[in-house]
Amino acid sequence: MNNLQVKTRQTPNWIITLLAVACGVIVANLYYAQPLIGPISADTHLPLASAGLIVTLTQIGYVAGLLFIVPLSDLIENRRLIVATLAVVICSLVVASLTHSANFFLITAIFTGLGSVAAQILVPYAAHLAAEGRQGQVVGNVMSGLLLGIMLARPLASFVTDLWGWQAVFILSAAITAIMAGLLAFALPERKPSPTMNYGELIRSLWLLFTTKAILRRRAFYQACLFGAFSLFWTVSPLWLAHHFHFSQQGIALFALAGVAGAIAAPIAGRLADRGWTKRLTGLVIVIAALSFLITHLATDASALSLALLVVAAIALDMAVSGNLVLGQRAIYSLGNEIRGRVNGVFMAVFFIGGAIGSALGGWAYASGGWMLASILGLSMPVIALLYYFTEKNV
């Protein structure tokens, strides 16, 4: 089925719902290890200062997939590509659950990230299905599923670890991902692109797109800064909760549930972007991201007030990141259907590089200077984005 046939037929709501759930299930694999870096590091004998590498290497694998796999969605049939990448995820999760070697676990983390880019094939796929004028709404709905997956991954991983150990997290995820791969293979309509270039030309065109599309560069940089702060926060906060507030894995899981509230920003941002509010909302969410770090310093002891402020910060930061993500994707998808897969790959690759930097800096900063140093680094990222935002002239 070609693009025109898909676009001229009313897409059932259940397919959009399936895409949203699938994105959540797939992308969660990037984040299960984030609250578990303590027990995983202990079991694999990985030093605490290097614990951030668990998340960082997963994100590096994801970036590689965004650059070299996602562009294939503009070249080959999308459903087949999605199922193939999910097979990589399933295999890497099974191997991760069986290893006790730090080096081997870090290698599986790269492949987990590499295969999880299936989610970023599904998002522009959803935009292809959407009617004109509703792309922001559809992308926002699918992204809300993806963001719920990100935010639920952390508490789910902590709950399962508390009951059965961290290895069970990866076994369960492999089983759920396999079921989802089967559903997608059965239910999704075909999307066969009409390629005008071969794979080598496709990859070389990524740099050209980045250098010639100002909207793409700007939106990717905004999201890289915010996602770097997000990754730093969620890499460090489980350590801070365990050491400063003496939380168990179950307590850390309950804290992580607070971030789920941030997913409500995605569909709202999508609808407001369709109304032309992109620029104003972008400035607002960047400011909210910066304030989320500042409020944690209003009280720094182990009191209930300090914990409450940390919860508010988690919700605010997650809302800012999820809202800005949808605003960015709505903007870059307007660049054209024929380059949507590549544009999405470049956009995601740039901002996940920001996330990888944030995760790596978070582990190092916490080991070196505790929450104070980590939060200062986290605050600096949205501040840099805000300074860049002030140079924006067009919506």
The reply to whether 394 falls in a domain is: no
Higher pLDDT pick, 322 / 6: 322
Higher pLDDT pick, 1 / 124: 124
Poorest-pLDDT segment among 51-60, 118-127, 129-138, 284-293: 129-138
For residue 362, name the pLDDT band (cuts at 50, 70, 90).
confident
Please tell me whether the overall predicted TM-score, pTM, comes out greater than 0.85 for this model. Answer: no
How many domains would you assign to the chain?
1
Poorest-pLDDT segment among 160-164, 205-209, 345-349, 391-395: 391-395
The reply to whether 122 falls in a domain is: yes
Mean pLDDT (whole number) for 222-229: 95
pLDDT at 54 over 70: yes
pLDDT at 131: 62
Q: Helix, strand or coil for residue 268?
A: helix
The reply to whether 350 falls in a domain is: yes
pLDDT at 137 over 80: no
How many Cα atoms occupy the beta-carbon half-sphere of 177 within 13 Å?
31
pLDDT at 8: 41
pLDDT at 210: 92
Calpha distance 262→265 (Å, rounded): 6
The reply to whether 190 falls in a domain is: yes
pLDDT at 79 over 80: yes
The reply to whether 395 falls in a domain is: no
pLDDT at 135: 63
Rounded to the nearest integer, the mean pLDDT of the chain is: 85
pLDDT at 136: 64
Residue-range definition of the domain harbouring residue 127 = 3-389
Calpha distance 310→238 (Å, rounded): 11
pLDDT at 3: 46
- What letters, b where the CB count within 10 A reaches 16 and e where it falls short, cover 275-288? eeebbebbeebbbb
pLDDT at 134: 64
Summarised one tens digit per residue, pLDDT across range 260-291 is 777 677 677 767 777 777 788 899 999 999 99
Higher pLDDT pick, 395 / 216: 216
Q: Helix, strand or coil for residue 46?
A: coil
CB atoms under 10 Å from CB of 50, counted, come to 17
Calpha distance 383→278 (Å, rounded): 19
Q: Say if residues 129 and 6 touch (Cβ distance below 8 Å).
A: yes
Q: Which of 165-174, 195-204, 345-354 has the highest mean pLDDT?
A: 165-174
CATH number of the domain within which 217 lies: 1.20.1250.20
Calpha distance 239→371 (Å, rounded): 9
Higher pLDDT pick, 71 / 21: 21
Q: Helix, strand or coil for residue 339?
A: helix
For residue 329, name the pLDDT band (cuts at 50, 70, 90).
confident
Q: Say if residues 241 and 255 touch (Cβ distance below 8 Å).
A: yes
For residue 170, name the pLDDT band (cuts at 50, 70, 90).
very high
Percent pLDDT > 70 in the chain is 92
Poorest-pLDDT segment among 127-136, 141-150, 169-178, 333-342: 127-136
Mean pLDDT (whole number) for 316-325: 88
Amino acid at 331: A
CB atoms under 10 Å from CB of 3, counted, come to 15
CB atoms under 10 Å from CB of 233, counted, come to 26
pLDDT at 132: 63
pLDDT at 231 over 50: yes
pLDDT at 146: 81
pLDDT at 77 over 90: no
pLDDT at 318 over 50: yes
For residue 1, name the pLDDT band (cuts at 50, 70, 90).
very low
pLDDT at 9 over 60: no
User: Considering only CA atoms, which of 225, 356, 236 is closest in space to residue 296?
Assistant: 236
For residue 248, name the pLDDT band (cuts at 50, 70, 90).
confident
For residue 114, name the pLDDT band (cuts at 50, 70, 90).
very high
